[in-house]
Amino acid sequence: MKHASTSTRVFVYGTLLGGEPNHRLLRGARLIGPARTQPRFTLYDYGPFPALASRGKHAVEGEVYEVDALMLAALDRLESHPRFYRRTPITLDDVGRVEAYLFPKERLAGRPIIESGCWRRHLQERKPW
């Protein structure tokens, strides 16, 4: 008897994006496509990675992947869910309900806000020429 594996759709917006350092953890996942949140979030620069917080006013760009339970567990370990990031369901216009790793806003005081809502664009602008 074959077990039905549960799949979860996950919105990624930083180091898990295609071409970014942690994307290898998504090897084998199905790319649903590029996505953007509703303008209810804030993306912060946390140094080597971004942090997404709710109750903001920006739309954040990213990608949605469909992952299995093992891959979701690996992502939870990477993001130190629930101690560092908290995996939380959010709704995207085109994709519906997905999981996203959100950061507690109270731990982001003084961190720069990424106004564009796009980590890749921010990395390009941050590069010293």
* Buried-exposed string 89-104: b where 16+ CB fall within 10 A, e elsewhere: ebebeeeeebbbbbbe
| 7-126: CATH, from 1.20.81.30, 3.40.50.970, 2.60.120.200, 3.10.490.10 | 3.10.490.10
Stated pTM of the model: 0.93
Out of 61, 79, 99, 106, the active site residue is: 79
Average predicted confidence (pLDDT) for the chain: 94
* Residues whose CB is less than 8 angstroms from the CB of residue 10 and which lie 6 or more positions away in sequence, other chains included: 64, 65, 66, 67, 72, 75, 98, 99, 100
CA dist 43 and 12 (Å) reads: 12
Predicted confidence at residue 126, as pLDDT, reads 83
In this prediction, residue 97 carries a pLDDT of: 96
Query: Where are the alpha helices (H) located in the chain, listed in sequence order?
Result: 69-78, 119-126
Query: How far apart (Å, rounded) are the C-alpha atoms in residues 70 and 28?
Result: 11
What's the confidence (pLDDT) of residue 3? 47
The answer to whether 79 is a known catalytic residue is yes
pLDDT per position as a tens digit, 67-93: 999 999 999 999 999 999 999 999 998
Tokens of 49: 């990675």
Structure tokens at 52: 């997404």
Domain ranges within the chain, ordered by starting residue: 7-126
For residue 103, give the 3-state DSSP assignment.
coil
* Residues in the chain, pLDDT under 70: 1-5, 129
